[in-house]
Amino acid sequence: MSDTTAHVKKPGWFTVHVMNRSVAWLTRRGISVWGSRVLAVRGRKSGEWRTTPVNVLTHDGDRYLVAPRGHVQWTRNMRAVGGGELHLGKHVEPFTATEVADDAKADVLRAYLKRWKAEVGVFFAGVGPDSTDEELRAVAHKHPVFRITAAPNA
């Protein structure tokens, strides 16, 4: 598992107050922006639902959540509870999550950056979709990745 004390690059004011809120507002109304969903995960201490907008990546038949900003609260909660819900409008999809080992992240990170580099590239310290596996593995510990699977009886 990744070091949860790794440095987190916090998003700027515009991202937090304009972009995240706009994407979340649209997603809550059923409009997906490039794969956006509202992630709901129970707090590891409070047990209360916490939400944040995320991009769901489909790669080689599996679906993933990538944390471009690093080891943030939703990743810590996901590790503790092992799943959550993805919301798109009124549709709610419960899921389970398995964290991907750092050595196995290169292809997923490459696919994620290919799709969303313009949005999240600043958080990857110069690494992009054309980077080598070695370069991607060098930053993998900074970016948690979870493979998600629809929960039974969902």
CATH number at residue 85: 2.30.110.10
**What pLDDT sits at residue 96?**
97
DSSP string, 2-23: --TTS---PPPHHIIIIIIHHH
Using the 8-state DSSP alphabet, how is residue 86 labeled? E
Domain count, the chain: 1
Contact 1, 99 (CB under 8 A): yes
**What pLDDT sits at residue 19?**
64
pLDDT along the chain (154 residues), means of 10: 49 61 68 78 95 93 96 96 94 96 97 91 91 96 97 72
Q: What is the b/e burial string over 65-76, where b = at least 16 CB atoms within 10 angstroms of the residue's CB?
A: bbbbbbbbebbb
Nearest to 115 by CA among 71, 69, 63, 56: 56
Model confidence over 69-107: pLDDT tens digits?
A: 999 999 999 999 999 999 998 999 999 999 999 999 999
> Whole-model pTM?
0.83
Is 115 a domain residue?
Answer: yes
Is 4 a domain residue?
Answer: no
Can you state the angle between helices 106-120 and 133-140, rounded to 10 degrees? 80
CB contact set of 65 (below 8 Å; sequence gap of 6+): 39, 54, 56, 57, 78, 97, 145, 146, 148
Range of the domain at 68: 13-150
Is 2 a domain residue?
Answer: no
Is 67 a domain residue?
Answer: yes
Is 8 a domain residue?
Answer: no
Q: Which two tokens stand for residue 65?
A: 């959540």
**What pLDDT sits at residue 16?**
58
Is 122 a domain residue?
Answer: yes
H/E element, 95: strand 91-99
